[in-house]
């Protein structure tokens, strides 16, 4: 004789013969498959209906293309700038002459600050320019 198994039917536990338990398990698996297929089918149908309604709505709207272009123009993703950055305050010939005449970066910073005390350039900018001029020369 086959041993009994415990199955859960609607929240109530029952002890049934093994054959009945196997039948119940396979029926539950069949129902799960039916549910999966049904929901996949309805989801695909809904997506198709949404796409169709969107197409119809935009086909009847003459200003859609202009609005879409304006949106893309105003809200497109900002791409990182590749290349050399343009300086905000280009170096004048007087500034370059003061920095070029210095023997070290510390001397360049001191000479630049003495010549242009009200300048907005940082000491690091002067140092970078001194190194750049030294490499080029």
Query: What is the pLDDT at residue 9?
Result: 61
How high is the pLDDT of residue 1? Answer: 45
Full domain range(s) for residue 114: 93-136
What is the reported pLDDT for 69? 77
Residues 11 and 59 in one domain: yes
Phi, psi (degrees; rounded to nearest 5) at 24: -65, -40
Judgement on whether residues 15 and 48 belong to the same structural domain of the protein:
yes
68 domain-assigned? yes
- The tens place of each residue's pLDDT in the chain, 137 residues long, gives 455 666 566 666 666 666 666 676 677 777 777 777 888 888 888 888 877 777 777 777 778 778 777 777 776 665 555 666 666 778 999 999 999 999 999 999 999 999 999 888 899 999 999 999 988 76
**In a domain? residue 21:** yes
Neighbours of 121 (CB within 10 A): 17
The strand pairing partners of 110, in sequence order, are none
Tell me the DSSP string of 42-110: HHHHHHHHHHHHHHHHHHS-TTHHHHHHHHHHHHPPPPPP-SPPPPSSPPPHHHHHHHHH-SSHHHHHH
Bridge partners for 6 per DSSP: 15
Q: Phi and psi (nearest 5°) for 15?
A: -100, 120
Same domain for 101 and 54: no
How many distinct structural domains can be found in the chain?
Answer: 2
Cα–Cα distance for residue pair 132/105, rounded to 1 Å: 11
């Amino acid at each position: 004789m086959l041993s009994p198994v415990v199955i859960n039917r609607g929240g109530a536990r029952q002890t049934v013969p093994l054959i009945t338990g196997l039948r119940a398990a396979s029926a539950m698996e069949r129902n799960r498959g039916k549910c999966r297929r049904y929901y996949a089918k309805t989801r695909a149908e809904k997506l198709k209906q949404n796409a169709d309604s969107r197409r119809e709505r935009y086909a009847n709207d003459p200003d859609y293309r202009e609005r879409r272009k304006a949106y893309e123009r105003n809200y497109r993703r900002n791409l990182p700038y590749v290349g050399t950055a343009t300086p905000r305050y280009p170096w004048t010939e007087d500034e370059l002459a003061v920095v070029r005449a210095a023997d070290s970066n510390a001397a360049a910073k001191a000479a630049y600050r003495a010549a242009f005390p009200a300048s907005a350039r940082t000491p690091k900018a002067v140092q970078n320019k001194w190194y750049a001029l030294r490499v080029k020369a």
